[in-house]
Structure 1
Amino acid sequence: MSTPRRLPDPYSSDGGSANLADILERVLDKGIVIAGDIRINLLDIELLTIKLRLVIASIDKAKEMGIDWWEDDPALSVSARGRQLSSENEQLKARIAELESARGPESVKELRDGQ
């Protein structure tokens, strides 16, 4: 009578197999790029092209590769949000000065006095 054969445990700590944490550490350290293009043609007329690029890497590795788009995205960076608000503030001040100069000094004084 034979005994059923067991498959190796994927989470075992023997020296031959790597666990998920080791694999993730290697991928983030080295980086991985997955790229692909999808093209849809009809009678030799290109209707749609989709270019897919996926980069998986640690932040340090991404910066080494010159990828740092998150630093300029106001939704992801406090400093970028501050720069955006500062720029909007300057634009509004310039617009107010332009409107005040177009109305004339008398009407601006009336508006400030509440009349």
Structure 2
Amino acid sequence: MTTPGRFPEPYGQGGGANLADILERVLDKGIVIAGDIRINLLDIELLTIKLRLVVASVDKAKEMGIDWWETDPALSSRARRSELAKENAELRERLAELETGRQEETGRSLETGRRQRADRQREADRPPEEAP
């Protein structure tokens, strides 16, 4: 009840908890907000949106088994390095396969060239045939 000449106290001052205390408590314990939005037309479901929001500290989230940010390359430099190392290894493997294929092809080309030179040499060494 207010007395004349005095304004009511602002929200939260009389309760003994300020915003920092409330935020600390929420982050320590965690809070989950869940909701669904459904749009129907003549009993036909057109759209369903499921909303889930978890607000917690990093430590609390890890306790709950939530750690997706550690493996997301957009959020973690460690994940980004891991992804780059994996891509680098795949590219090195592809390059090695290509080089092996080229060496085999080059080896075949060298062997074909040797045969062709040997055939030309035999042709050159053969005596000319006499006309009948």
Q: Same fold (TM over 0.5)?
A: yes
Structure (1 or 2) with the greater helix fraction: 2
8 A contact 1:40–1:49 mirrored in 2:
yes
- Residue of structure 1 in register with 2:9 after alignment: 8
Task: Select the structure of larger CA radius of gyration.
Answer: 2
- What is the identity percentage for the equivalent residue pairs of Structure 1 and Structure 2? 68
- Residue of structure 1 in register with 2:20 after alignment: 21
Letter matched to residue 30 of structure 2: G
After superposition, residues 29-108 of structure 1 pair within 5 angstroms as: 29-105=28-104, 106=106
Letter matched to residue 28 of structure 1: L
Letter matched to residue 51 of structure 2: L
More relative contact order, 1 or 2 (CA 8 Å, 6+ apart): 1
Secondary structure at 2:22's aligned position in 1? helix
| Structure 1 position 40, deviation (Å) | 1.1
- The total of aligned residue pairs comes to 104
Q: Under a length normalisation based on structure 2, what TM-score does the superposition of the two structures give?
A: 0.70
CA 1:43/1:9 → structure 2, altered by over 3 Å: closer, same or farther? closer
Distance in 2, matches of 1:5 and 1:18, equals: 22
Q: What is the Cα-based RMSD across aligned positions, in Å?
A: 2.0
Q: Which runs of 5+ in 1 are unaligned?
A: 108-115
The 4+ residue runs of structure 1 with deviation greater than 6 A are: none
Q: Under a length normalisation based on structure 1, what TM-score does the superposition of the two structures give?
A: 0.79
Letter matched to residue 95 of structure 1: R
